[in-house]
Amino acid sequence: MKAVILEEANVFRVDEKADPTPSENEALVRVRHTGICATDVAMIRGLSPLVIAPITPGHEWVGTIEEAPKDSEYAPGEWVTMYPTKGCEVCAACLDERPHHCNSFRVIGVHQDGGSFAEYLAVPLDQLIKLPETLHNIHGALAEPATVGVHANLQGGMAAGKRVAVIGAGTIGSMIGQVARGWGAADVVMVDRMPARQKLAADLGFERFVLVGDGDEQENLLAYDGEFDIIFDNVCVEQTLELAANSLKSGGTMVTLAFPHDGQKLVVPYMTAYRRELHIVFSRNYARGDWDHTFDLMSKGAIDTERMISGDYPLENFVSAMDDLRDKPDEHVKVVIST
Ligand SMILES: [Zn+2]
Ligand SMILES: [Zn+2]
């Protein structure tokens, strides 16, 4: 089959790779669509250390069953995706279906070979997830990043009537904002340092936007009807954490979810956080049960995947898709590879 092979940082190509041979507990899946995630970009461009190499990346996918064990609940042609997180399966977190808290946490296609920038995958049956009919197409590839948004909202205690701000208005921020709106947020303000993100936010129906970098962001954010109940920080640098802390109501919640740099410390203005008795919660990845919320929201049309998909490239053109993402950051939100 054809697959992307990442040999080392910045050394990658589409090449022939042996077809996967499923074991008796696995199904063979024909990959249909895979989103390129910031994690893939970081791996491929050497912005995060490669855990193993060579590796075929890709974890935001939908596909169809090619072959499944006869006694399984899957039939050829059926549309599926994968819960890509694996744990040790024996620790308390794993037994509680929270492998994202397991000490041996790993994601297929990130920390383990077998990613979906390939024509076929062998997928453990217990990692497969059936897709609702509305997602039997390219839009299904956005279910995984949408689930990151669902998890962040669950962590933040999102409920109807809350005033919300989202710092970092790219793919994940847009998902967080749309989930919050889908769950009845009274207000969602998007915050970013890239002017192009204002257009994206507006297209997604978020008219309220604050551009970071001119020094007026604090004032501009609070100008939208005052302090917030929940602020999601996808960036988590000192400046954004301070902006978040200073813009929350007393008793408000800051949800931090940027991927941490090695040795990074979370620096928040303690006096503000103390006086306001802020809640600071962290959000990593998602739990398996979070996907049900995603399917519900996506089936209702709460996530505008049409606007978020900025490119659809065949697998053979993976290298040019990556180059376009790098060279035209203003034009792209989610680029999908179709096989
Ligand atoms: Zn991802
Ligand atoms: Zn475990």
Residues 91, 163, single domain; the answer is no
pLDDT at position 50, please? 85
151 and 197 together in one domain: yes
Any idea which residue has 């103390």 for tokens? 274
Please tell me the predicted confidence (pLDDT) of residue 49: 83
* Separation of alpha carbons 89 and 147, rounded Å: 22
**Do 110 and 229 share a structural domain?**
no
Cα→Cα distances 75→64, 104, 130, 239, 339, Å: 9, 32, 11, 51, 20
Asked if 7 and 51 sit in the same domain, the reply is yes
Q: Cα of 215 to ligand 1 centre, how many Å?
A: 32
Q: How far is the CA of 265 from the centre of ligand 1 (A)?
A: 23
Looking at residue 258, which CATH number applies to its domain? 3.40.50.720
Task: Return the CATH number at 39.
Answer: 3.90.180.10
Cα 212 to averaged position of ligand 1 atoms, centre (Å) = 25
Number of domains the chain is built from? 2
Cα 82 to middle of ligand 2, angstroms: 18
| Ligand lying closest to the C-alpha of residue 100 | 2
2 beta partners: 16
Give me the percent of the chain exceeding a pLDDT of 70: 100
For residues 191-199, give the mean pLDDT.
95
Asked if residue 137 is part of any domain, the answer here is no
Cα–ligand 1 centroid distance for 41 (angstroms): 10
Domain that holds residue 18: 2-130+304-338
pLDDT tens digits for 295-335?
A: 999 999 999 999 999 999 999 999 999 999 999 999 999 99
Quick check: 273 and 245 in contact, CB under 8 A?
A: yes
Q: How confident is the model at residue 75 (pLDDT cuts 50, 70, 90)?
A: very high
Cα(227) to ligand 1 centroid in Å equals 31
Give the distance (Å) from ligand 1 centre to CA of residue 35: 8
Do 111 and 22 share a structural domain?
A: yes
Looking at residue 214, its pLDDT comes to 85
Give residue 109 CA to ligand 1 midpoint distance, Å: 10
Distance 299 CA to ligand 2 centre (A): 32
User: Residue 41 CA: which ligand is closest?
Assistant: 1
Q: Are residues 126 and 174 in the same domain?
A: no
Separation of CA 60 and ligand 1 centre (Å): 6
- Mean pLDDT, the chain, rounded, equals 96
Is there a domain that residue 207 lies in? yes
pLDDT band at 55 (very low <50, low <70, confident <90, very high): very high
Would you say residue 291 lies in a domain?
no
ipTM: 0.94
242 with 213, same domain: the answer is yes
Determine contact, residues 221/165, Cβ cutoff 8 Å: yes
The answer as to whether 216 is a domain residue is yes
Residues in the chain: 339
Spacing, Cα 151 to ligand 1 middle (Å): 13
Residue with structure tokens 């076929």? Answer: 120
